[in-house]
Structure 1
Amino acid sequence: MSPDTHRDSCAEHRIGLVLASASPRRRELLQQIGVRFSVMPVDICEDVHPGENPAAYVARLAKEKAEAGLAHSDAAAVLGSDTSVVMSGQILGKPVDADDAERMLMSLSGSNHEVMTGVALATAQETQVCVVTTVVHFKELSPETCRAYWQSGEPHDKAGAYGIQGLGAVFVDRIEGSYSSVVGLPLAETAEMLIKAGIPIWQPE
């Protein structure tokens, strides 16, 4: 078998798209636009680098996840994504306890903040990267509401201590930008990346 024939044979046996995330929300969003994919979460360090701004941070993490997935799989393409809630230039991570969640939510109360999602699609040819920023306007919250919301369990694993796709939707007065990006994956931009890489969307089951 010639080297070219061997490469062609390997390419034929490569699996298609892999999502480098364990997030059920990202899985649901990809399914929403008819994309066929497999799931393979990757483990990378998510520490913020000194002097790194939030947009650069989510872009870097998305790229590292996608490229790590590509390096450790037989996928033709790997999609990585990372979402951060940003208030006054500061990244709000996942709350460590009820007091931390209340602190975060009260800082968002009656104001607006940014949700930044980085998306990266890695193939053997290139890695596409983009960052989508959505402005989210919050209603006024009370400490009692924040504590009751914590008891629901929903904010425990959510950046910024809320989920717009769940019970936390009642806190949101309005948004400016992409709703799906706030959930975890900006669909319009992701679809553009997939199409550019030759990965079809709108596929029937």
Structure 2
Amino acid sequence: MGISFEAIPAKIEEPINSEAPQTQTMQNALRKAQLVKDKVDKDALVVSADTIVVLDNHILGKPADTEEAGNYLRLLSGRTHSVFTGICVYYNEIANINYEQTFVTFAELSETEIDSYLATGEPLDKAGAYGIQGFGAQFVTKVEGCYFNVMGFPIRLFYEMLKTILVEEEQ
């Protein structure tokens, strides 16, 4: 997209609650944007995102440890799950918030495959304990929807949100 940016970490608590997954990701994205907006110039465009993995109405966040990561991968094995990413685009004191949902199907995973993947360390900082852009890609048999959403940033959705803001800015 050719946009220059500065990445500013926004560490927030990401509690799992009874809200719908899309609501949780949008709320977390908003909280991240609000945390960052006070650290940047007033006319800066602040963009934040939050991604979660959902299987059978249960949220699989970032695993606490290798054991939990292995349990997540066993649950995902041979099944289809949803990936939700909430995005907040904050500009001129207005927060535009939306989300994307993508369905991902995993192959059946052997214990050897799970153990080998866990040994890479990759699953420990990823929602659902896998990264589609890394070694986790080998487990994915099907993606329905936005691939970039599964990576944590649905580019097309962001582009549409940005266009809306730019049109409003021109008026």
TM over 0.5: yes
Distance between the aligned counterparts of 1:61 and 1:132, measured in 2? 14
Letter of the aligned partner of 1:113 in structure 2? H
Give structure 2 stretches of 5+ with no counterpart.
Answer: none
More divergent stretch after superposition (163-172 vs 89-98): 89-98
Distance between the aligned counterparts of 1:185 and 1:164, measured in 2? 12
The answer for the alignment partner of 1:105 in structure 2 is 73
* 1:105 shift after superposition: 0.4
Residue 142 (structure 1) aligned with residue 110 (structure 2): yes
Q: 2:62–2:128: 8 Å Cα contact kept in structure 1?
A: yes
Secondary structure of residue in 2 paired with 1:85: strand
Distance between the aligned counterparts of 1:173 and 1:156, measured in 2? 22
Would you say how many aligned residue pairs link Structure 1 and Structure 2? Answer: 166
* 1:191 shift after superposition: 0.9
Secondary structure of residue in 1 paired with 2:141: strand
Query: Larger Rg: 1 or 2?
Result: 1
* 1:125 shift after superposition: 4.3
- Normalised TM-score (structure 1): 0.77
Distance between the aligned counterparts of 2:162 and 2:61, measured in 1? 29
* CA shift digits 1:7-65 (9 cap, x unpaired): xxxxxxxxxxxxxxxxxxxxxxxxxx21111111122221134x212111001001111
Residues 125 and 95 (structure 1), Cα distance of their counterparts in 2 relative to 1, 3 Å cut? closer
Residue 89 (structure 1) aligned with residue 75 (structure 2): no
- Normalised TM-score (structure 2): 0.91
Pairing 1:1-205 to 2, within 5 Å after superposition: 33-49=1-17, 51-74=18-41, 75-198=43-166
Q: What root-mean-square deviation, in Å, do the aligned CA atoms of Structure 1 and Structure 2 show? A: 1.5
- Report sequence identity in percent: 39
